Structure 1
Amino acid sequence: MTESLLRTVRASYDAIAADYAALFDDEPCRPLDRALLAAFAELVRDSGAGPVADLGCGPGRVTAHLHSLGVEVFGVDLSPRMVALARAGYPHLRFVEGRLDSLGVADGSLGGVVSWYSIIHTPPERLPAVLAEFHRVLVPGGHLLLAFQVGDEPLRLREAFGRAVELDFLRWRPDRVAEALERARFSVTARTLRQPDGTERVPQACLLARRSGAGKPPEAAAAAHHGDVSTRK
């Protein structure tokens, strides 16, 4: 993502953070979502490989849910207001500001990464850079859980909760995301596709993947060569 787009997304979420947190006060609420998060948590606990980063954590409810499942976890979000709400709501957990493709943690330091609807503002041409960063921070064999909306046309939002925003919610085809994961040296171990529920407009997908062994995916090698790991959420 360009710096301009990053600033736009950050400002939009800062503007609606409190209303967003109130609206999704019961998340994660859907039974299948809870089952997927529980399976991910069990895999990470059994591996004993390190902490989990909840990327695009928003007000922190998925982070807190993973913590309740016995996972050592911290949250990362682009929006300072979201991070502030998460810290206020869950003061026993750690939340930091950050961008998806430059997480500021050491290579191979995480046992798991959760990207729970956090690639929705990543332009398709920048997805490889984001997945390369996920690969970098995970230990070999570390687990990744990706959730996203399914479709081809983005949802363009210019007003939310009575406030002006500029947010394009990108939708993805599961096969396309799976192919991108494989190119980034992940092995997809499970995928789910469920129909819209409640206020949802389109189907929802989750992919569970594992980081393959040593070496960097092509996108990471190219970024290192040029000294640039540019776009983040």
Structure 2
Amino acid sequence: MTDSEVLSAYGARAPVYTDLLGSVEDMHELDRRNIQRWAKGISGPILDAGCGPGHWTDFLHRQGADISGVDLVAEFIDSARLRFPDVSFRVASLRALDLADGSLGGVLAWYSLIHLPPAELPVVLTQLHRVLKPQGQVLIGFFEGESGKSFDHAVTRAYYWSIDSMTRMLQDAGFDVLESETRHDPGSRPHAAIVAAAGLH
């Protein structure tokens, strides 16, 4: 998916998406615990990369994190600014983050990489590595399954990844994988998450 395709698909559905999935209370309790635990171990600023409606950004802000959110979809950013006025949000593409090298302690990429075609995901992972300081951490949430296989997501085409494949791509981008998890809840697609630390630049 190109940025313009994702922008068009989400821009048209942003209000509905926010109503359905724009609250941390609508998220799985285990995800809330894991994201909170991860953030508490981060030293330095955190970027919520592909923050969507901004609910995770606000959640971690309220936990005391130094966090800001970016998203490609202006409709999401406009809504997030209204809903969470104490948090910093801006429009940006993950393909070209306007941040200095090594400027972040952590990056949360929670289901924000799922629409990237297989050939483009490594490019974005390299961007995330660039903006993280050495040993800064990324937390990625994604749909677990046959690597690179596309499916019809509720908004637009998305892709599955296995833990092994995502691990290899992270390692190729300069990360060391610290932990991973999978979960399959009834009625939902299989979930996966990986925490990785940026190696020396």
TM-score of the aligned structures, taking structure 1 as reference length: 0.81
> 2:150 aligned with 1:154, yes or no?
yes
Q: Aligned residue for 2:21?
A: 24
SS in 2 for 1:208: strand
User: How far, CA to CA, are the matches of 2:199 and 2:22 in structure 1?
Assistant: 36
Q: Aligned residue for 1:79?
A: 73
SS in 1 for 2:24: coil
Work out which of the two has the higher radius of gyration on C-alpha atoms and give 1 or 2.
1
Q: Structure 1: which 5+ residue stretches go unaligned?
A: 215-233
- 1:196 deviates by 2.5
- 1:156 deviates by 2.0
Q: Aligned residue for 2:159?
A: 170
User: How far, CA to CA, are the matches of 2:34 and 2:137 in structure 1?
Assistant: 12
User: How far, CA to CA, are the matches of 1:25 and 1:6 in structure 2?
Assistant: 21
Q: Structure 2: which 5+ residue stretches go unaligned?
A: none
Aligned residues: 198
User: How far, CA to CA, are the matches of 2:29 and 2:152 in structure 1?
Assistant: 28
Q: Aligned residue for 1:226?
A: none
Contact 2:24/2:32, CA 8 A, preserved across alignment: no
SS in 2 for 1:75: strand
User: How far, CA to CA, are the matches of 1:103 and 1:117 in structure 2?
Assistant: 18
What amino acid is aligned across from residue 191 of structure 2 in structure 1?
A: Q
User: Which is bigger in relative contact order (C-alpha 8 A, separation at least 6)?
Assistant: 1
SS in 1 for 2:100: coil
Fraction of identical pairs, as percent: 37
Q: Aligned residue for 2:36?
A: 38
- 1:11 deviates by 1.1
User: How far, CA to CA, are the matches of 2:170 and 2:46 in structure 1?
Assistant: 19
SS in 1 for 2:52: coil
Q: Aligned residue for 1:57?
A: 51
User: How far, CA to CA, are the matches of 1:70 and 1:96 in structure 2?
Assistant: 20
- 1:80 deviates by 0.6
- 1:26 deviates by 3.3
User: How far, CA to CA, are the matches of 1:125 and 1:196 in structure 2?
Assistant: 29
User: How far, CA to CA, are the matches of 1:31 and 1:7 in structure 2?
Assistant: 33
Contact 1:41/1:70, CA 8 A, preserved across alignment: no
Among 190, 197, 200, the alignment partner of 1:203 is 190
SS in 2 for 1:175: helix
> Residues 2-35 of structure 1: CA distance to partner in whole angstroms, max 9, x if unpaired?
xxx2111101111000000000143363121012
- Over 3 Å off, 4+ runs: none
Contact 2:22/2:54, CA 8 A, preserved across alignment: no
